[in-house]
Amino acid sequence: MAASEAKDMEVEAAIFKKLYPVDFLQRHLHQNVREDGRAFQEARPVSLATGVLSQSNGSALVRFGKGTMVFAAVHGQVTEPNHETPNEGMIVPSVDLSPLCSPNYRPGPPSDDAQALAHQLQNLLDHAQAIDRASLCIEPGVAVWCLYVDVVVVSADGNVLDSAMFASVAALAHCRLPEVVRCESASACVCDSKRTHALRLAYYPIVCSYGVYHSAYLLADVSAFEESLLSAKFIVGVYDDSNTDSDVFYLRHMGNANCQHPTLSKNHAFMEQCISQAQTHANVLRKLLHKSLHE
């Protein structure tokens, strides 16, 4: 009987959540708890595996909780450099958001959401500058490495940007490129696949996003349900653990975030809180990445 009653309550809660999502979320937040039982600043457990695709130069599989899973693979290709930067290689991310990861997406060419996410990843990787593009140069003005970072969202239950960025960084950290034996042009390069070298990252850039609901609640690592009801979002990119403003390589506010008194986006104390929490969580992810790379 108890099991049956519990099942009925779960069904009723699911129906109430579907019909009255705002009321459902507010009832939980007013009790200082989120719908999945987490505290406001609590992130979901993160798991990471590197080297999951042998046909790539580097790969990683990231999971945030039970609902968000992202795969990233790096494929290096020799190409001609841009005329503006003849001594620098390139990093080009792409994103696949298929109907398999969420019913919100449709089959066909890359959706606007997929292109927007790829643009965000490109922007973050450019801002982070963790990889010296000059180190990807094979022959100045003749040939460079172009690293294609292919991101596949396997399942999407919120905070896809953070997980996609972490998977991309992990795949790049795992990447090994073959030694170039001879290179007369971008189309005539001879590589030795048996002799490889690791791609050097100056640091591991980590991105942490925070959702704002009704300008009163700050939520870390939001689920898809929470994400659909947010009034604003803050994206913080950090690269080491000394916890100062100089360690932030990216900071962006999206949406409306006006408080009842000060404005969240201009509240220095609030931003310090976001940065501090991002640093703490980033340290956890870096340790996870370091462990995976050395197993």
For the entire predicted model, the pTM comes to: 0.90
Output the pLDDT for position 20: 74
Counting residues of the chain whose pLDDT is more than 90, the rounded percentage is 60
Q: Between residues 49 and 108, which one has the greater pLDDT? A: 49
Question: What is the CATH number that goes with domain 46-198?
Answer: 3.30.230.70
Mean pLDDT of the chain: 87
For the chain, domain boundaries: 46-198
Q: Which of 48-62, 92-106, 245-259 is predicted with the least confidence, judged by mean pLDDT?
A: 245-259
Which pLDDT value is given to residue 159?
96
Taking only the tens place, the pLDDT of each residue in 193-229 is: 889 999 999 999 999 999 988 878 889 999 999 999 9
Average pLDDT over residues 123-133: 95
- Provide the 8-state DSSP code for 54: T
User: What does the alpha-carbon distance between residue 162 and residue 185 come to, in Å, rounded to a whole number?
Assistant: 38
pLDDT band at 264 (very low <50, low <70, confident <90, very high): very low
The per-residue b/e assignment along 243-261, b for 16 or more CB within 10 angstroms, e otherwise, is: eeeebbbbbebeeebeeee
